[in-house]
Amino acid sequence: MRIKNSALALIFALALLANLSFAGQGTASDCVVIYGDSRTGHAEHKRIVELIAGIEPRAVFNTGDLVENGLNPEHWKIFNSITARLREQTRYYPVLGNHEAYAPQYFSNFGLAPDQRWYSLDIGSIHFTVLDSCSGIQEGDAQYQWLEDDLQKAGAEGKFKIVLLHHPLFTTGVHAGENIPLRQALLPVFEKYKVNAVFSGHTHAYERSLYQQTYYIVTGGGGAPLYNQISAGPYSQRFVRAHHFCKLCAEQDALSVEAIDIDSNVIDRFRVPRGGGPKSALTVGRGQAADPELIVFYSPACHNCIEIKAKVMPKIEKEFQGKIAIDYRDISEMDNYKLMLALDAQQEKKIELTLPVFYFSGALLNGKGDAEANLRSLINQSLAKTGWKKGLPLVDLIGRFKNFQPLAVAGAGLVDGINPCAFTVIVFFMSFLALQGYRKRELAVIGLSFILAVFATYLLIGVGAFNFLYRLRGFRMVTKAANISIGVFSLGLGALAARDFFRYIRSGRPDGQFLQLPQSVKNSIHRIIGLFYRKDRTQDQPAHGQRAFAFKLFACALITGFLVSLLEAVCTGQVYLPTIAFVLKATRLKSEALGYLLLYNLMFILPLFAIFLCALFGATSGQFAKFMQKHLGSAKLLLTLLFFALGALLLWRA
């Protein structure tokens, strides 16, 4: 009997020891999972959810960008089908990402009140604070005050403190150096209340950073396309480009964290002591980078941006290597656009936001004039300065939109509509088709079709529909080739007009003008330029054939206008268009935003429409023809100057 009792006691002790050992590593009931940025990678997201379900965590947090478009019900349907089993098994807590920041479906999908953009909860010995970084957080606002009260209470209860928000305060990935206002507002709070770790997404990768005893974890590998590491950072300790999730387990005196990739490999493992990690030796300077940071805001559709990046920036990078860090920001990404506006808002002396825009040591500079000399001067004058500018304001795009004036938007569209490439194409087409014998009605249909295509294409460009094209490496070569081709063609027309002018001056007769070129030359030009527009005069077409031919002309004019607009998209208008596009997609002011977008584009095509009317009148008016015969010399000289000017401008832009 004594032996039996001893055996039972031994078994009990071993079981207790095993349980303590296992609990030290975090049992399923002690652990939660954190991941984010599932978006469009449905296969990867599904695999990650399956792995998470196998762990059976107490709860799951998603750090935002759950879907690609938060306003699209189909995207939520796919998301719910992938996460259904997991959400039946455990509690699932969302964080607002920029892809669902203003979507009512986000709140209804998780049973949240429409104004419940931030919240907190306890799970065992861990207090989780969920923030809304999309709306911005600054000292004194409602979310900031709530955060301080929440963390103070959690500290009084002796809880581990974990904060979750979508935008990372530290990352060396694609979004490196962003969120300066957010970082300024939150770092002192996190240090004051000894937050153990901060989890975020937005950068599609895994990264661990340490700043002032607080760990900053980026877990944006839930399925979205992965990002590379693009810069070095003094606080970054590990960066892995992988789809993954993080498992967080509470122990008695520490939190254990494991990052696990889609193939079940542990890609990082570390412990967060209750008192915080080892204090980082570095302090906050200008931003994340060790060197002063030059931020270059650009657009992939901006010719001037591309030229400066290709010709000026390599010289700047070489000259200031080891002295500054350079970060390129595409303003078609809304976060980058908002950052540019935030930096502009702090300037005492305002500048015109003509791309590219440079930010260095508290000062903004645009790409006008001698960009290389101006940028070099700014850097040299600013290198001795240190520290962030205090009080960087957050940008309220809705308020900014409400301050727009119709006259200002219309004026911007009118100025941007001066497009030499489109002018050259429509003038030549109208003249060429008149030579082919088309009537005024046919010319009007073709010209208006061209203008309609320009209007529709720029409308789509305004809402970012073609941003993916402008990011393709080879697309710049296509636009360069288009500029050169049309520029050379315009110079050729100028040369022919000059030939006509000098021949007319010598002879005083209109004989031998360009309109009377040898038939072989005319045939060559017609073959190259008029492939789709040549009129067959040898056949009498039946009614249905004429309709088909008219449709062919209409379609070809649309295609030509679309291609010219796509290849020659202007990079001005960025003061208005990104804000309008944001309001159009994300708020209830859609009708007002659409009105402004239509106004901008209507004014944009107004100069083209005026050129069209002149070309149509000149090509079909008998009185105008008599006037031209009387003043042929002057007309040819003006035409020569016009085509030479347009050609030179297009080649310069190339």
Mark whether 450 and 347 lie in a shared domain.
no
Per-residue tokens: 38: 């599932």
Instruction: Check residue 330 and give its pLDDT.
Output: 77
Q: Rounded CA gap, 367 and 56, in Å?
A: 55
Confirm whether 10 is domain-assigned.
no
Which comes out higher in pLDDT, residue 28 or 327? Answer: 327
Instruction: Kindly report which listed range (111-125, 325-339, 440-454) carries the lowest average pLDDT score.
Output: 325-339
- Residues 45, 75 share a domain: yes
Residue 414 placed within a domain: no
pLDDT at site 175: 75
Domain end marker among 380, 395, 410: 395
Residue 310 falls inside a structural domain: yes
Q: ∠ CA 393-464-652 to the nearest 5 degrees?
A: 95
d(CA 87, CA 311) in angstroms, rounded, equals 53
pLDDT of residue 503: 77
DSSP 588-645: S-HHHHHHHHHHHHHHHHHHHHHHHHHHHHHHH-HHHHHHHHHTHHHHHHHHHHHHHH
Residue 89 has pLDDT above 70, yes or no: yes
Residue-level pLDDT at 265: 92
Task: Say if residue 146 is in the same domain as residue 256.
Answer: yes
pLDDT band at 215 (very low <50, low <70, confident <90, very high): very high
The reply to whether 131 falls in a domain is yes
> Per-residue pLDDT tens for 344-396?
877 888 888 888 999 887 789 988 888 899 999 988 887 766 443 433 444 55
Do residue 347 and residue 206 come from a single domain?
no
**Alpha-carbon distance 586 to 398, whole Å?**
10
Q: Which amino acid is at 117?
A: R
Q: Considering only CA atoms, which of 192, 186, 243 is closest in space to residue 216?
A: 186
Residues 188 and 67 in one domain: yes
The stretch 144-165 carries a mean pLDDT of 92
Determine, yes or no, domain membership for 12.
no
Q: Are residues 137 and 268 in the same domain?
A: yes
Question: Are 70 and 207 found together in one domain?
Answer: yes
Rounded-to-integer distance, Cα 446 and Cα 375, Å:
46
Lowest mean pLDDT among 32-36, 192-196, 332-336: 332-336
**Residue 67 and residue 216 in one domain:** yes
Checking if the pLDDT of 282 tops 60, the result is no
Same-domain pairing of 507 and 637 = yes
- 453 within domain boundaries: yes
Domain holding 595, by residue range, is: 420-532+542-653
- Buried b or exposed e, range 103-114, using 16+ CB within 10 angstroms: bebbbebeeeee
Is 70 exceeded by the pLDDT of residue 639?
no
**Per-residue pLDDT at 19 exceeds 80:** no
State the pLDDT at residue 118: 95
pLDDT, mean of residues 217-241? 86
Q: Is residue 447 part of a domain?
A: yes
Share of the chain above pLDDT 70, in %: 64
* pTM of the predicted structure, to 2 decimals: 0.47
The pLDDT of 451-462, averaged and rounded, is: 79
- For the segment 76-94, the average pLDDT, to the nearest whole number, is 95
224 and 356 belong to one structural domain: no
Asked whether residue 190 falls in the same domain as residue 298, the answer is no
CATH number reported for the structural domain that contains residue 314 in this entry: 3.40.30.10
Element (H, E) at 216: strand 214-219
Q: Is the pLDDT of residue 106 over 70?
A: yes
**What is the reported pLDDT for 571?**
44
Q: Which of 173-182, 411-420, 500-509, 531-540 has the lowest mean pLDDT?
A: 531-540
Indicate the range of 11-15, 318-322, 373-377 predicted with least confidence.
Answer: 11-15
- Rounded to the nearest integer, the mean pLDDT of the chain is 75
Per-residue pLDDT reduced to its tens digit, 262-276: 999 999 999 898 866
Model confidence at 30: pLDDT above 70: yes
pLDDT per position as a tens digit, 161-202: 999 999 999 988 877 767 777 888 899 999 999 999 999 999
In a domain, 161, yes or no: yes
Position 546 scores a pLDDT of 55
108-143 pLDDT per residue, tens: 999 999 889 999 999 999 999 999 998 888 888 899
C-alpha 632/C-alpha 532 separation (Å) is 30
- Do 227 and 84 belong to one domain? yes
pLDDT computed for residue 132 by the predictor: 94
Indicate whether 425 pLDDT > 70.
Answer: no
CA-wise closest residue to 534 among 518, 522, 520, 544: 522
Model confidence at 322, pLDDT cuts 50, 70, 90, reads confident
Question: Mean pLDDT lowest for which of 227-231, 481-485, 551-555, 612-616?
Answer: 481-485
CATH of residue 35: 3.60.21.10
pLDDT of residue 537: 47
Domain end position, chosen among 361, 395, 429: 395
pLDDT of residue 10: 43
How far is 65 from 220, CA to CA, in rounded Å? Answer: 9
Count how many domains the chain has: 3
The predicted pLDDT at position 633 comes to: 65
Mean pLDDT over residues 619-632, rounded?
Answer: 54
